[in-house]
């Protein structure tokens, strides 16, 4: 039913108090909502529920995070922070 293909994708928030911050999609609720985490303020244990229309999807996807989440294994907050930091460094200004 839901498209789990978005899991592990790096996204930017387009709206709200977290505008312009980087997150990783860690779960898809339905066609309107996803759960996102950044490993710092929004931990993997307490992700933020966000409307998809308020997110800008990048072309960066972490297959490692996706595979761990789909198989039910634990993803660490430090792993998420590392992925987001490396994406931030590679971002074109």
Domains of the chain from N-terminus onward: 4-90 (2.30.30.30)
Report pLDDT for 86.
Answer: 87
pTM of the model: 0.88
Residue 87: pLDDT band with limits 50, 70, 90: confident
Other Cβ atoms closer than 10 A to 56: 10
pLDDT > 70 in the chain, percent: 90
What average pLDDT does range 77-81 have in this prediction?
Answer: 94
What is the pLDDT of the chain when averaged over all its residues? 89
pLDDT tens by residue, 6-39: 899 999 999 999 999 999 999 999 999 999 999 9
β strands within 1-93, DSSP E: 9-13, 22-28, 33-37, 48-51, 55-61
């Amino acid at each position: 039913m839901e498209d789990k293909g978005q899991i592990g994708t790096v996204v930017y928030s387009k709206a709200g108090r977290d505008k312009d911050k980087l997150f990783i999609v860690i779960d898809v609720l339905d066609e309107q909502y996803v759960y996102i985490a950044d490993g710092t303020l929004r931990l993997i244990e307490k992700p933020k529920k966000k409307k998809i229309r308020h997110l800008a999807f990048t072309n960066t996807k972490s297959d490692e995070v996706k595979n761990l989440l789909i198989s039910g294994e634990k993803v660490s907050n430090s792993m998420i922070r590392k992925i987001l930091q490396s994406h931030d460094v590679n971002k074109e200004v």
